[in-house]
Structure 1
Amino acid sequence: MNNLTTDKLIRYSKAMLMAYFSFFGLLIMIQNFTDYNSNYTYVAHILSMDTTVGAENIMYRAIDSPFLHHRIYWFVITMEVIYTVLCLIGTYQLIRHINAPAAVFHEAKKYSIMGILAAIFIYYVCLQTVGVEWFDMDTSQRWNAKDWARHITDFILPLMIYITMKVER
């Protein structure tokens, strides 16, 4: 334990946090592939806006096509696979370069940063912005994932800041 410096601990913590987020992505992927219909149903209800309250003046935004529901859901699944794979590669790169010079370790963050950006796109842009602001998801009593997405975003935005900080020496 005497060889564990604060600088080394910071490097390990970055790798571990990326591993935690990668694990989350793996669980999401398993859920989507093993129980496709649960999340498909959620996506279909949000896109069709059939459970939103008091949204008569914005119903022109609704997408009622099951064909498009499946395509949009597969887009989300694809983005989740992309961010998970990038985060896994990022975790591996951080671990692989844990003892490298600071500049090399900092460059090893590229895949982690790309993975986190893809996750921000899904959970902030797609769910919190498009889902809530365009499809009025937050007025649905049953199909509202605004808070769930916010909790994820509340983790990944500080994670992005922490990972990108160049404090290692």
Structure 2
Amino acid sequence: MNNLTTDKLIRYIKILLMTYIGFFGLLVMYSNFTDYASNYVYVGHVLSMDTTRENLSLSYRAITSPMLHHRIYWLIITLEVTYTAYCLVGAYHLYRHINASADDFHEAKKYSLIGLIIGIFVYYVCLQVIGVEWFNMDTSQVWNAKDWARHIVDFIFPLLIFVALRTER
């Protein structure tokens, strides 16, 4: 433990946290591929706004086409696969550069940062902004992923800042 410096420990922590978020992405992907029907139903209800009838003046925003539901769901799945792949490749690149110079380790963060910003797009922009603000998802008693998405963003956003910070010497 005497030859483990704080700088080296911070590098290991960045790698571990990127691995954690990549593992989370793998579990989400597994769920989307093995239980497509349940998750599709979820997306369909949010887009159809069929359980958010408190404000009927907003119902013009609803997307009721099953074909569009599938396409939007596949877009979300594609983004989740992309962010997961970037996060895992990013963790690998960080690990490969664990003993590199500070500049080289910092440059190895690119894939991680791309993965994290895509993750923020999925869970913040798609679910919290579009799902809540456009499709009124937060008023549904059953089909509401607002809090779930917020918890993910609450992990990803600080992680993005932590990984981006140039603390290595």
Q: TM over 0.5, yes or no?
A: yes
Partner of 2:152: 152
Equivalences for residues 4-153 of structure 1 within 5 A: 4-153=4-153
Aligned pair count?
Answer: 169
Report the alpha carbon displacement of residue 88 of structure 1 after superposing the two structures with TM: 0.7
The C-alpha deviation readout for 1:8-61, integer Å capped at 9, x for no partner, is 000000000000000000000000000001110000000000001412010000
| 4+ aligned runs moved over 3 Å, structure 1 | none
Letter of the 2:166 counterpart: K
Letter of the 2:165 counterpart: M
Secondary structure in 2 matching 1:115? helix
Alignment partners' CA distance in 2, 1:7 and 1:111? 21
Indicate the RMSD between aligned Cα atoms, in angstroms: 0.5
Letter of the 2:50 counterpart: D
Unaligned runs of 5+ in 2: none
Give TM-score, length-normalised by structure 2: 0.99
Alignment partners' CA distance in 1, 2:75 and 2:140? 23
Alignment partners' CA distance in 1, 2:51 and 2:99? 53
Percent identity, please: 67
Secondary structure in 2 matching 1:77? helix
Give TM-score, length-normalised by structure 1: 0.99
Unaligned runs of 5+ in 1: none
